[in-house]
Amino acid sequence: MSQATTHSAPHTLSAPAASEHGVLPLEPIEEPKSWFIRLLYRVTRKRYGKTPTAFRVMYARAPFIGFFTLVLVTLVEKATKLPSTIIALAQITVANQKGCTFCIDLGLAELVRNGIGTERFGDLDEYETSDAFTEREKAAIAYATHIEGTLHVPDAIFDRLRDHFSEREITELVWVCAIERYFNSMAIPLRIGSDHLQAAMRARS
């Protein structure tokens, strides 16, 4: 009996990890076994001041997912012809539609880190009437907004995209939005919320 008490005691010393979405079903792992994930922890702490929750919840348990994510993010940043601002608008629009506060915060933190203003992202819900976005940006936001309700995109959305983007850029925009939905579909079920990285990056700048 005393041995069982000894093993169970540590679990009662602190409250379960939680976010604005509720108690996390999987506790964050602070000391991962994988050398690759330990390296990611070190890199992200240097980049953001802390290791994002998704890394500590998912990648620490399944390092191959962390590696796959790193490849995807690198391809989006280095291999696409879309401007970084268009990519960010599409990603944050999709995340905003899904209510993925983790992805929104991470995306905005990256913008702050790169010296890009984030004020206009508060106008995304009224993007059609906002002067903060160009017609090209509005076309991309319209696509990212539409796929929240259905993946069956009408011709009018693609006609609008064709007015401002090449066929390769349209294909890349579809891919970027699909990747963002993939990230959202992992963070939301695991109740991973905002790490307040945007505020931390502002404090450091």
Query: What's the whole-model pTM score?
Result: 0.88
What is the predicted pLDDT for the residue at 140? Answer: 98
15 confidence band (pLDDT: 50, 70, 90): confident
DSSP reduced 3-state for 60: coil
Q: Is the dihedral of CA 175, 181, 112, 130 positive or negative?
A: positive
201 confidence band (pLDDT: 50, 70, 90): confident
204 confidence band (pLDDT: 50, 70, 90): confident
Helix (H) or strand (E) holding 81: none
| C-alpha to C-alpha distance for 118 and 111, rounded to whole angstroms | 7
What is the predicted pLDDT for the residue at 115? Answer: 87
Q: Are 27 and 16 in contact (CB under 8 A)?
A: yes
14 confidence band (pLDDT: 50, 70, 90): low
User: Helices marked H in the chain — which ranges?
Assistant: 2-8, 35-48, 53-54, 63-78, 84-98, 101-113, 135-149, 155-162, 167-187, 197-204
Which tokens belong to 31?
A: 């000391």
Which tokens belong to 97?
A: 């539609």
In the predicted structure, residue 11 carries a pLDDT above the cut 70:
no
Q: Are 153 and 146 in contact (CB under 8 A)?
A: yes
Q: What is the pLDDT of residues 71-97, one digit of tens each?
A: 999 999 999 999 999 999 999 999 999
Across 149-178, average pLDDT = 96
150 confidence band (pLDDT: 50, 70, 90): confident
Q: Are 104 and 50 in contact (CB under 8 A)?
A: no
The DSSP secondary-structure symbol of 82 reads: S
Neighbour count for residue 183 (Cβ, 10 Å): 22
Phi-psi region of 45 (alpha: psi -120 to 50; beta: other; left: phi over 0): alpha
